[in-house]
Structure formats: structure tokens, C-alpha cells
Structure 1
């Protein structure tokens, strides 16, 4: 990792960790309506198991504009989310924005609505929550909600999004280790402690 902007306040275990879905927890399949195409990213299950072992609630906050665009229905999103839950869950909370980007809703990231709603459902303060995502809108939503953000870049992440991110991790497991206040050095060495 070429930059570690982790501050000392991250030494406490978060009240919850919220994840973006596509590109963060599972491979990004644009407007996916087929549960058979759901494939977890490397290290996803181990990362989530670490959080659950530490007693940290987990959730998913995801934009699904394919519904608003008429490319899929809410049932399609539910079926894909159910598959993610089957492979990686159970998650304590799911929040989905089905709106078209031009609808101006309050929930669509980079707006904070999904994160704030998830925090209310979990009864935790946003300032005690970590949000993990793969693009700038995930980090901006975290910032606007008052949560802490960790960016896990993918090939679609823009250079300026990496530069603007408050914290950057090389992969999902490393992001979770950071959220738990662990050093990235063991993860890079392969033992993950």
C-alpha cells in the first residue's frame, strides 16, 4: 500500500461496517439481475468472518439504478442480494437505492441517505461506522454521513478518487483489518493477523 492515511482514532472497533455491493463485496456485473452471476471478490468471506468474530454488525448499502432505468425490477435486485447473503451473509442490514440518478433522491450515493438509514436500523452513530467501497461516491456518502471511509480501488476506480479517499486499502481483507485497528503488514505477509 503506497499510502496509509489511517489516523489514531481508528484504534477502536467500529460499531458497524457497511459495504458497497458491486465491485466491493462481489464482482461488478453491470445491472446484474441473475443470481448465478454473483461471485464474491477474493477475501470477502474471510473479511466478513473476521468482523463477525469481533462482534461487529455488517451491512450493505448499494445503488441499483437499473431499477429506475427500467433494466431490471426490484425482485431481480432482491434475488441477487439474496444470493450475496447466501454466499457471504448474513448481513445485519441491507439498504438499496433503486432510483435513477436524475431523480434527485436522498438515498443514492454520494448522498448519505443509505448510510444514515442503515445506521438508524442498527442503532449506531454514523461517526462510529466504517464504510468500505470501491469508488468516490462511496467515500463521499461516508463523509456526508459523518462515517469513516475506506476505499478499495478496482480497475474502475479513478486516480482522483484514490487521491481524495481518506483511507485506501489494497483489498477487502486489508480494509477490514484497518477498520478493526490492525496493521496491514501481516496481511501483506499472508498470515492476516
Structure 2
């Protein structure tokens, strides 16, 4: 995958030169949700550097080669932010890994074989307003089509109305809401809206939007 938008390119994966930047951007985007579990900050970044998998990522890079943003996805083969209990233990020790792993499992989402699951999207602060997020989201949709999926699924938390508005503009609709219940204080949000963008099948069996 390679596409050029004004001032930046969309490409599959991320380079090893961008691994540190990817970890930082991921943490900036999701520390509000995962900060109490993965703290302290330096260990969280160390863990992210270990586990982020470019095979399940699409990135935006500017003309100077700097990382502007990234979108991840999850399949039955893996995810952008996957990793194992051993990866957690390598950073936090086994005691720290066991309770962190149990809490992280609360946020895990099952894969639907018919839908590509987006596994996070984030844009550097200095790149906001340039259409990077929209281009990455469209690239995820393209990835789903190439994989023969019937659509894309994602989740957006109730404290992120800006992201929800973007998804709605790109054809996503809400299908269900999941409450965090007793974990609301831990994760920093009360509910997550599941959204989908489904494709129809044309007579030639190529996916088109419903």
C-alpha cells in the first residue's frame, strides 16, 4: 500500500526507525485509558516498543520522512498492540505482569472474521488538521476491501466525540454500546460505542459501500 496525499504519504506498516515515535504517539493517544495500568511512563514506553507490530499497521509519513500518524488493525493472526504475558513480564516482572495482563484483557475485543477490526488510530499533535486521520481511516477501509472483508469495525469511547464525528463522516454507524461498569474509574471512560461501516457486494463480487 502506498498513497500520496498533500504533504504526506500513506504506507503499509512502520519502519524500525519509527518504532520509538510510534510508541510515543500510541502512549500519548491511549495513556488516559491505560495509564493507571501501564504506569510508570518509561516502562509503558519500553513495553510498547517491544510489542507494537508493523505487520498490522498503516502509517502516514511526511515528505521529510517523519511519522505523522498511524492506524492499527487486528486479525486472527495478530494486532498492532498484541504481545504476550512474557512481554509484560519482561518489563514489569511476573507479579506486575499477572495483574496488568488480567486488567488489559478487559479491553480485549474478539475478532469477527467478516469485519476488519481497527486497533487504534492516532495523529501527532503538529499534524492535526491536515487530513492525516481521515487518510489513515480510509486506508483501513481499503485494507478491509483487499482482504475481502464485508466491512470495518471500531470502538470509540464516550470521551472522544471528535473521533466519533470523524467516523460518522466516513460512513460509520453506531451498532451497540458497552458500559465499563466498575472499571470506569480505572479506564477513564464510562462506555464505548461500537461502530461499523459495511460494504455491499456488487454483481462482480467486488465490495462497494452499502
Higher-Rg structure is 2
TM-score range, shorter chain: 0.3 to 0.5
Give the TM-score of the pair, scaled to structure 2: 0.34
Higher relative contact order, chain-length normalized (CA < 8 Å, sep 6+): 1
Give the TM-score of the pair, scaled to structure 1: 0.36
